[in-house]
Amino acid sequence: MSTFRILLTPGDGIGPEVMEEATKVLGRVERRFRHEFVYDEEKLGGAAIDAYGTALRAETVAKAKQSAAVLFGAVGGPKWDDPKATVRPEDAILGMRKQLGLFANLRPVRVHPLLLGDSTLKPEVLEGTDMVVIRELTGGLYFGKPKKRWTNAAGRQGVDTLRYSEKEIVRICHVAFQLARQRRKKVTSVDKANVLRTGQLWREVATEVGREYPDVTLDHLLVDACAMHLLRRPASFDVIVTENMFGDILTDEAAMLAGSMGMMPSASLGRRRKDGTGIGLYEPIHGSAPDITGQGKANPLAMILSAAMMLRLSLGLEAEAAAIESAVDGVIAGGYRTPDIAGAGTTVVDTRKMGTLVAERL
């Protein structure tokens, strides 16, 4: 029996509600596959601000570093929204990513055939969509220096700096190629090489890293073309890799293909070991949904699918991850829906029931 240490940070709003369902499902995985998951639980975000006056305690980071992975709910809510506040719930996510050296953000976008109608795109365009968008998280325009505003005789001025080093591009490209190897073996690297020097560097380095993976096809797209093709031929993509700001925009565009936020998991990864595993933070892409907190309406599937990603990418438990994903598919195929994805002829269930249905299918 193998034992894995996992840090749970349920956070605020619906975070604790969906986390409970994820651990219910993980409990079934433990029994079926004979593993032991040892949990630590820490308050974070608004809950930690209330309890300790800070969104992320040093103790929480220390526990995260001793764990194989962090399973993260959601943070924030109206109670902590004061723009003048010196501590904000979001500091917890940024702090955690920084302290754990998480430089790659992964968002899988898979559209379940029975949920094709939930998207604003036509079902025939969406059919077969199954991609992962990888965004570089720690470099680029959001962090480059100089970054400042000033005023001179010509009026108000501002500058941000888009800078990437070869090393930063190499490590994120390896994440993309390694992931593509476990999938359909296709990487699309997205840049703006026709205008930006960093874009030329990005393309050059991506091509060089690609040579180490002769079994994976690499193509390059300009970011504007990629934005267009995501809507025109989403099913043609397998793994997309891009820099921070382009990724920020493209991941949201890609997320909308799937329709509901309640279905979409994500991972933030740091350095990988030879077997492709390593520490990661796994969270649904949705926020704390204060409008439905405490009403049993939250869809726990994004959180449950985040736990599946954790098993695959941090714990190296592929069969277990696939079992969760197929249990989720089975529950959807069985016609069960939380209110956010309910349609004609479906059975509407609450958060707990949805978690139980997935657990029972395992």
Residues that bind ligand NAD (CB under 6 A): 14, 18, 74-77, 93, 261-262, 283, 286-292, 298-299, 302, 340
Q: Could you tell me how many helices (H) and strands (E) the chain has, helices first?
A: 12, 14
C-alpha to C-alpha distance for 156 and 330, rounded to whole angstroms: 57
Question: Which residue lies nearer to ligand NAD by CB, 276 or 290?
Answer: 290
In this structure, what token pair is assigned to residue 324? Answer: 């969760």
In the bound state with ligand NAD, the residue whose beta carbon lies nearer, of 61 and 235, is 61
150-185 in b/e burial notation, b at 16+ Cβ within 10 A?
eeeeeeeeeebebebeeebbebbbbbbbebbeeeee
40, 142, 160, 329: the active-site residue: 142
CA distances from 229 to 112, 226, 255 (A): 20, 5, 14
Q: Which is nearer to ligand NAD, 221 or 255 (CB)?
A: 255
Contact 321, 311 (CB under 8 A): yes
CB of 299 to ligand NAD, least distance (A): 3
Active-site residue (options: 50, 81, 252, 291): 252
Active site residue 224: yes
Burial class (CB in 10 A: 0-12, 13-18, 19+), 330: middle
Nearer residue to ligand NAD within complex by CB, 85 or 319: 85
**Helices marked H in the chain — which ranges?**
15-33, 46-52, 58-65, 91-99, 123-126, 166-181, 197-210, 223-232, 244-257, 301-313, 318-333, 351-361
**Among residues 15 and 270, whose Cβ is nearest to ligand NAD?**
15
265: part of which helix (H) or strand (E)?
strand 265-269
Q: Which is nearer to ligand NAD, 69 or 302 (CB)?
A: 302
* Catalytic residue, candidates 248, 329, 350, 353: 248
For this structure, is 248 an active site residue?
Answer: yes
For strand 336-337 and strand 347-348, is the pairing parallel, antiparallel, or unpaired? parallel
Supply the minimum distance, in Å, between the C-beta of residue 300 and ligand NAD. Answer: 7
Judge contact between 187 and 156, C-beta under 8 A.
no
**Least distance CB 262 / ligand NAD (angstroms):** 3
Nearest approach in angstroms of CB 251 to ligand NAD is: 12
Which residue among the candidates 164, 192, 238, 336 is catalytic per the annotation? 192
Q: Which phi and psi (to 5°) does residue 266 adopt? A: -155, 165
Q: How far is the CB of 274 from ligand NAD (least distance, A)?
A: 30
Shortest distance, position 223 Cβ to ligand NAD, whole Å: 23
Which amino acids are annotated catalytic?
142, 192, 224, 248, 252
